[in-house]
A and B are shown apart, each in its own frame.
Chain A
């Protein structure tokens, strides 16, 4: 589902962020990505989300070679990859409903269908009763769950999450991770970057460790 072939990423100001990463993630796998800050976790996810392009090497996601993907196809590719960010990236002046609906609005889904699917997604993250609230009125954990609802509302086959629990306490973090596990059980491929080693160990999923831009450990399928 996600394949990295000899991927390098060099930033002009920071130097090498990823060096020679080779990786294969099967469809439906749930993979944790760990490592120190600056080890290249975010870079990997940004490459998968096609927010950035690699300096060298090939990335294939969901059968699409990102290097040869025409510019016009990028939006359609991004609809197949749900992205979750540490800072949620929610619009503070829009309701929870409108925030979650955004991927569907953008894809031209009809109003009725949007209502149905947004409520289904909010139900999955347990926020069905808060659809009219603005994100500011929600707690950090709730905000992150809105972010997750937005990422899954378009039913993408791939989900990537960059430090989704970075600002949350352990209990809330566990809740979020268990939520991810539920998507894993219905066949979604997940890649989650996190610092939370204790949680990762207790969840027993494949874990990749990055160090200074290199893949130094891969537990393989658990």
Chain B
């Protein structure tokens, strides 16, 4: 304590300066937050508008993200399931699958024998009684065909399907992934749309913060003038307004996060029930760690930029006439 006092008496030393600077910033940050609390209603309204504006693109992101995860589970299915004629036996099918795997269009082939298919069928449940009745396995051999990535377009897959059907062993073929690809394309579209929406709403947030800060500057004209007269630097006068903008952004971002998270929690139960009806383990996920960081970071940045614009337009600094 005594040591501290003697140091203070000598005035700030160069080594202390960063600490003083940080302390000033910290103090300004707290003071601006306190000022927001002094006018709770207008501040809350500004924060709410920012929060809702940011919640919309964030919610769209969560939605597309979830749909993508859901679709990701289906990506494992083969593009084409080739059902072989019933008289084909396992050894022949095995040779055929090895043969097909050498085709340039195909990356790998998965052979599902009759017994495996029956096992899988049993595992699905609900068919046990029906299966007891049957003495002979009615299921055909299936070759699950995974095409190379370059052959995954709908047109080329169609060509491959035709080619496969010309094989003497082929009975019929089913394309599984076409709809999935369409679904992915729609997801891409929605995601681009949400990016665009986010951009527009981001501009909206800039305007909201800018206008709020502008009004605050006008309200505190006299104080600013006096501060300039007693030797406040432009940076000192700007600082609280920039902090106010950052606070608006941060609180708005937190509001957006809260809105999205509450919505996700409310939807979790019904979505899980729906998923279980489709025998899926799918769980709705909210804004992840990274997405939360991006939301908060972007909102703080928007608040800062918005106030920066207002401050630059309306605070000229200690400029004599």
Q: Which residues of A contact B (CB under 8 A)?
A: 49-53, 71-72, 74-79, 83, 89, 91, 102-103, 106-108, 110, 112-113, 150, 154
Contacts and interface: CB of A to CB of B under 8 A. Distances in A.
Nearest 3 pairs of A and B residues by beta carbon: A79-B231, A78-B231, A106-B232
A35 B227 CA distance: 30
Contacts of B225: 89
Contacts of A72: 233
B231 A103 contact: yes
13 contacts: A49-B229, A51-B229, A71-B319, A75-B228, A76-B233, A77-B231, A78-B228, A78-B318, A79-B230, A83-B229, A89-B222, A106-B232, A113-B8
Given A75-B231, A108-B24, A110-B8, A102 B320 contact: no
Contact of A52 (B226, B233, B317, B320): B320
Contact of B231 (A52, A76, A110, A112): A76
B321 A106 contact: no
A91 B226 contact: yes
Contact of B318 (A75, A102, A112): A75
B4 to A, nearest CB: 10
B223 interface: yes
B231 A154 contact: yes
Most chain B CB neighbours (cut-off 10 Å) among A50, A51, A102, A106: A106
Interface string B4-42: 000010001000000010001000000000000000000
A71 B223 CA distance: 20
A18 to B, nearest CB: 14
A150 B320 contact: no
Contacts, number: 65
A113 B4 CA distance: 13
B236 interface: yes
Contacts of B24: 108
Nearest to A74: B318
Main secondary structure of the interface of B (DSSP, over half): helix
A71 B226 contact: no
B320 A51 contact: yes
Interface in B30-71: none
Interface of B: 8, 12, 20, 24, 222-223, 225-234, 236, 317-321
B230 A74 contact: no
B232 to A, nearest CB: 4
B320 A74 contact: yes
Contact of B230 (A52, A53, A71, A78): A78
B236 A106 contact: yes
B10 to A, nearest CB: 11
Nearest to B319: A71
A92 B114 CA distance: 91
B312 to A, nearest CB: 15
Contacts of A79: 230-231
Contacts of A154: 230-231
Nearest to A99: B226
Most chain B CB neighbours (cut-off 10 Å) among A53, A74, A79: A74
A92 to B, nearest CB: 9
Nearest to B27: A111
A107 B233 CA distance: 8
B230 A102 contact: yes
A74 B319 CA distance: 8
Contacts of B236: 75, 106
Contact of A53 (B12, B227, B233, B320): B320
A105 to B, nearest CB: 9
Contacts of B20: 108, 110
A150 B230 contact: yes
B232 A75 contact: yes
Nearest to B237: A106
A61 B115 CA distance: 102
Contact of B8 (A50, A71, A112): A112
Most chain A CB neighbours (cut-off 10 Å) among B225, B228, B229, B236: B229
